[in-house]
Chains A and B, each alone.
Chain A
Amino acid sequence: MGVGNTTVLVLVVITALAFDFTNGFHDTGNAMATSIATKALDPRVAVALSGLLNLVGAFLSLAVAATIANGLVDTNVVTLQVVAAGLAGGIIWNLLTWLFGIPSSSSHALIGGVIGATIAAAGGSAVKWHGLISKVIIPAGLSPIIAALVATTGTWLLYRISRGLTQAARGHGFRIGQIGSACMVSLAHGTNDAQKTMGVITLALIANGTLHAGAQAPFWVILSCALAISLGTYVGGWRVIRTLGKGLVEIESPQGMAAESASAAVILLSSGVGYSLSTTHVATGSIIGTGLGKRGAEVRWNVAGRMATAWCFTRARRGLSSRESTLCPGST
């Protein structure tokens, strides 16, 4: 291994950790938006708690990291430069969408980037299409729908069961419940999103020959990713919180609890089987679901439509721009 490779490797690791940080930064909103919107939690407490639970979640499961490191691209042909190029655009996309307050998917940005860079460098045959479709694309498409379904059912049940309570008591009770459900979302976020960076760093280590193909993420990778995402979460992004918490549907605390429980359950279960999905899309699906589950509540479909458009473009654009950076001769 030459000195050049070591330099690139160090750069990739630092870039990946920075990506992880922006991911936490970007996604605080998903976990805590509804709690903050319904005033179940003080924003400061919510953000600190979310950071801590992301840290714990990152250690909880390694299945998604294994999917990214070994299941998506042919590790024999992927080089460090490819991983570096894939990463580079992901951060920019994350920062741009954050700046405009669009809750787009940072995970799909990352995966799209790595896939795009791989295709540019080694051709389509280097991509494990089966793994990509069955473990990323199909779960990505279905998870928000499942989350919406669960949240609709949950919301309907919660209002039905709590009918006998006074309005104020119901609000009070479910605000307490929301603290628990929001914590589960943060935990779930760590099990899915922190894993993606672990997977990419592991992929870089495999590409460099430091690890053998099929290896699991080493402990220092797990620890540093966990720290990066929780730190990013703590520093927090308020813009997305506003869009998600207030823009889409008017939320009451039973709806908040139903949405969060649905998100947490879908993300945790998917992490368990190694599906890499967008926590952002799941959270949005759940929030739409709670709007559908409560009689008289309205979903602002135009806001939802704008989000959906941004999502569709995420992967395509990410693939393209990392393709450009791979093709650019100056980029190593």
Chain B
Amino acid sequence: MSWINLTALWKIVVYGMIAGAGLPALFAVGLRALALPGGARVQTAGADSDQLVGGNVLGMIIAAICFLTILAALGWGIYEIYQLGHPAPVKK
């Protein structure tokens, strides 16, 4: 028996990076895409504006894909944890 479960540790580091750093990064990509300036919209945002939507249609689509991917990943991850945490009852 080993004192340290390397497989579990490795999984926590890799999945932790994907979920804990990757998903927020994807959120940042979404924010960035959302803020792309659009041609149809008059540019009113100044340097100190906190406006998030730039009005670029492609940007908005990319942002929507990013945000939906995050939600899907969270849903899938939570489902996996549920599966792991509810093993079939051990027979006596």
Which residues of A come within 8 Å of B, CB atoms? 60-63, 130, 133-134, 138, 142-143, 146-147, 149-151, 153-154, 157-158, 161-162, 164-174, 177, 180-181, 184, 187, 191, 212, 214, 216, 254, 257-258, 261-266, 268-273, 275
For chain B, residues 59 to 80, give those with C-beta under 8 angstroms from any C-beta of chain A.
70, 74, 77-78, 80
Q: Are B20 and A264 in contact (CB under 8 A)?
A: yes
Q: Are B31 and A166 in contact (CB under 8 A)?
A: no
B40 at interface, CB cutoff 8 A? no
A61-B86, A191-B81 known; 7 other A-B pairs, CB under 8 Å? A138-B3, A154-B24, A162-B31, A172-B50, A181-B24, A214-B90, A216-B90
**If A61-B85, A164-B35 touch, does A266 touch B16 (CB 8 Å cutoff)?**
yes
Set of chain B residues within 8 Å of A172, measured between Cβ atoms: 50, 52
What are 26 A-B interface contacts by the 8 Å CB criterion?
A60-B85, A61-B82, A130-B3, A134-B2, A138-B4, A151-B21, A154-B20, A157-B24, A162-B28, A162-B31, A167-B48, A169-B31, A173-B34, A173-B52, A174-B28, A177-B24, A177-B27, A180-B70, A191-B85, A261-B24, A264-B20, A265-B19, A266-B12, A266-B16, A270-B12, A271-B81
Q: Are A269 and B74 in contact (CB under 8 A)?
A: no
Instruction: Determine which of B5, B12, B24, B80 lies in contact with A257 in the assembled complex, contact meaning CB atoms within 8 Å.
Output: B24
Q: How far is the CB of A62 from chain B (nearest CB, A)?
A: 5
Set of chain A residues within 8 Å of B42, measured between Cβ atoms: none
**If A61-B82, A61-B85, A61-B86 touch, does A269 touch B11 (CB 8 Å cutoff)?**
yes
**If A138-B3, A146-B12 touch, does A262 touch B77 (CB 8 Å cutoff)?**
no
Classify the secondary structure of A's interface with B. Answer: helix
Q: How far is the CB of B50 from chain A (nearest CB, A)?
A: 4
B57 at interface, CB cutoff 8 A? no
Q: Are A262 and B85 in contact (CB under 8 A)?
A: no
Which residues of B come within 8 Å of A, CB atoms? 1-5, 8-9, 11-13, 15-17, 19-21, 23-25, 27-29, 31-32, 34-35, 45, 47-52, 70, 74, 77-78, 80-82, 84-87, 89-90, 92
